[in-house]
Structure formats: structure tokens, C-alpha cells
Structure 1
């Protein structure tokens, strides 16, 4: 099935929430840390010794056809030591309803296999459920407290790690997510990690928002 990025990103508005609200409502973090996500995703990555570039590249929209070389080792584990996060990563695609498929096990997360692998040009997208009525908090539940400067490690099936430093975390309403930027396949390598957040809407059995974390490579640690 061929879908546009906006359609693939619709999962971020629907399928990232399951079950019922948990401790989120008891200890809501700040809605954002670092610069706005859309600004981070639009700008060129800054060199380690230089400030962020001021010019913003234009945004292109492309069909979400598979582009990953089958020989490329997919990511198999994500770790955020500062948050106590460690989770297996499953390659995922598009479900029959046109949405991004995610592991039903909330302790596992999904990597969008039709986009770049971590370390390649463009944005590698990893997402998972925040919680579930029966299973409880998911692996990415602590993502809502991520702070700029914290590191993320992603290990691939060949045992090769990439290391990332968080530059932005923002809670964004699902109907205004910058989907084209999140699923961009060109530009500097970035890691985008998502889960649900904000208030729980019982009538939709879903959270209103997504927690979006953007990380850039730790200098000298990506291919």
C-alpha cells in the first residue's frame, strides 16, 4: 500500500493511544523543553562548533514508498539511560487501515521501516504506546520528562550503536503535528521519538496530544 507521509503520520493522531489514562494526569511535565519541534526539524543541523543555521530549507512531500535497503541492519533496541528507558525495537510499516502499525506490547516500540534507518540522512522515526489499560505504562511513558542534553542510544541488528542528544521535547496536539517534517527523508540525520500525551479523551479512547522528542547525533558517533 502506498500512502503519503501525512497519511502514514495519521497513526500519530490515532493509534498511539490505547487503554486508559495513568499517572500522566498526576504529574504533568512542562509542555516543552528546548526550541519548538517544527523549528528544529526545519533547520539544518548545526556543527558541533557552530550555532544553528538561520536559513530554513523548504519542505517537500513525497510518497511513503519503501526506501530502506534490505541489507541495512534495522534498529533492535533503544535506550535513554537518564529516563530509565530500554525497549526492543520492531520494524513496522503500514496497517490495512493506512496507519502506521505499532507493536501491541507496550514494552516494545516500532521503527518506521519505510523511512531512514538511524544515522542515515533524514529523520528516523521510532514510536510506541504510552500505556494500556491492562498492561500499564509503556516503555516510552517517561518520554514526557525528557530534557535537552540527555542521550539516546539506538543499537542495530549488527550490534552497531548510534548515539543521539536530545535537542527538543514538545507536547503537540495531534491534529497540528508537523507530519511532513517528522517523516522527512532528506537532510541531516535526526532521530524522532513519539508517544502519546496530554489529556485523555474517553470518547475516543485516546490522548489528545503526542509527545515529540527530537535528537541529533552526538558528534563522531554516526556513520
Structure 2
């Protein structure tokens, strides 16, 4: 991991107003899609529809009554017993990385507040961009929930909410994630359901070059909430921050 400092270096001004952490969003989501290829169920993959095989075999009743009314017709032969050939790679499920848009079982999150901070922002549903990255809302004061993963309140897995860390001229609300103390309360308002409260258990800087998608985009195990943004040093040569700030919270 590159340095462990929690002070995010502000990026140098650039012409025009644009949201920051776009590089981070791509790195975050690219890891998510990669893990989808390695861990089944990571991104609610779309099952490939296989058309039913066309059969020319007659029904059992037709086979039981041979056609003897036509000259030169022989009774049909019974097909050989089907044998199951081993399929290479069946020990590791392989599914398309493209997620299937579907309504989650749990209510969607709609608003996020974090105690003792100014984080008080709406949550919108996001997915995967054409280049395979997790989408991040353009407005710096809006957070995105990865809708192909668990929702806050799910019985298992990690709900991921991400947002930008700053703009070229100012800090965004998620810039405060790096300073959250253990025990800080996070409240998630949900659509058509009661709000949920989570308790922060830790904050970490994860080097983007060693991003652990399996621990962030997780579909099983204890329920958690992950809040993600950019952090660490600003790297001029990469036009990106060196790390991701990842806050882990559990149901309070």
C-alpha cells in the first residue's frame, strides 16, 4: 500500500468545473467486474438464455407403434442411452460479467447521513458503465449505490455506496470519510421502509494498484455497508489519487 497518511492531497486546478475521483470510480468498478468473473454472484450476472434443442425424435407412443403400413419401412431404433460427458471447468461457475437489471429484494437506499459530519446526501442507483466501471454520479453531493449488489439491510453481503471526494475547487461531502471515528453512526433512509442505522467499525486506505474487489463487492457473509471514495496522494502522472478510502460499517 502506498503511504498510510489519511490526508487527501488536493488536486491542482484544471480548466472547467468537473467532478473528481473519476479515475477512482473506474478503478473501483473495474475491480468489481473483474471479481464478477472470478466469484459467482458478485454482480448479479445475467444468465445466458439457451434456446431449447430442436428434436426430430418421435414421442414414446409413436416409438411403441412401428410404422408398418409403408413398404420398406423399418421400425425405428431406440436411441442409445444418453451419457453425461464431463464439462471442463464446471468446478468454477463461469457467467457473463454483464449484470442483469432487476429489482432487489430489499428496499433501495435513498438518503445517507453520517453523524458529526456534513454528509447529508441523496443516493441514486448506479450500475456498470460501457467501459466496465462502476458508475459514479456526476454531482459531487450525490452518492451512488451499486444496485447489482446487496442493498443496505440485506441479510448478507456488502452494500457499496460511492461518491466523489472533491471538485477542482472544493471538497465534496465524502472527503470527510477518512476522518470518521469508530462508532460513528450512519443512517440510511430507504424507499418505502424504515431507516437503518449502521456503526462505523473502521476506515482504511486501499492502494488502487492492489484493490481487493472480493472484500468490497461481496455477496455473502455478514451484512456490511461500505462507503467508498478517493484518498491518499494525488498522482500527477496518473491524474488520479493513489488510494481508495473505504469505510466499513455494520448494523447498529
Q: Tell me the TM-score normalised to structure 1 length.
A: 0.68
CA distance in 2, matches of 1:184, 1:72: 16
CA drift of 1:170 comes to 0.8
Label 1:67 to 1:160 Cα distance change in 2 as closer, same or farther (>3 A): farther
CA distance in 2, matches of 1:171, 1:199: 11
Query: Does 2:55 match 1:20?
Result: no
Q: Secondary structure at the match of 2:135?
A: coil
Aligned partner of 1:158 among 170, 186, 192: 192
| Count of aligned positions | 163
Give the number of the structure whose alpha-carbon radius of gyration is greater.
2
CA distance in 1, matches of 2:118, 2:104: 31
CA distance in 1, matches of 2:101, 2:160: 14
CA distance in 2, matches of 1:188, 1:211: 21
Label 1:21 to 1:188 Cα distance change in 2 as closer, same or farther (>3 A): farther
CA drift of 1:177 comes to 2.2
Aligned partner of 1:149 among 167, 174, 183: 183
Gaps of 5+ in 2: 1-9, 14-37, 46-99
CA drift of 1:74 comes to 1.1
State the match for 1:214 in structure 2: 248
Q: Secondary structure at the match of 2:178?
A: helix
CA drift of 1:68 comes to 5.4
CA distance in 2, matches of 1:125, 1:187: 14
CA distance in 1, matches of 2:110, 2:202: 23
Structure having the higher strand fraction is 1
Farther off after superposition, 63-72 or 75-84: 63-72
State the match for 1:131 in structure 2: 166
State the match for 1:61 in structure 2: 39
CA drift of 1:138 comes to 1.3
Asked if the contact 2:118/2:173 (under 8 Å) is kept, the reply is no
State the match for 1:83 in structure 2: 117
CA drift of 1:73 comes to 2.7
CA drift of 1:183 comes to 0.6
Label 1:70 to 1:119 Cα distance change in 2 as closer, same or farther (>3 A): closer
CA distance in 1, matches of 2:144, 2:228: 10
CA distance in 1, matches of 2:102, 2:200: 24
CA distance in 2, matches of 1:67, 1:191: 21
Label 1:21 to 1:155 Cα distance change in 2 as closer, same or farther (>3 A): farther
Asked if the contact 1:67/1:115 (under 8 Å) is kept, the reply is no
CA distance in 2, matches of 1:213, 1:72: 22
CA RMSD between the two structures? 2.2
Asked if the contact 1:78/1:88 (under 8 Å) is kept, the reply is yes
CA drift of 1:159 comes to 4.9
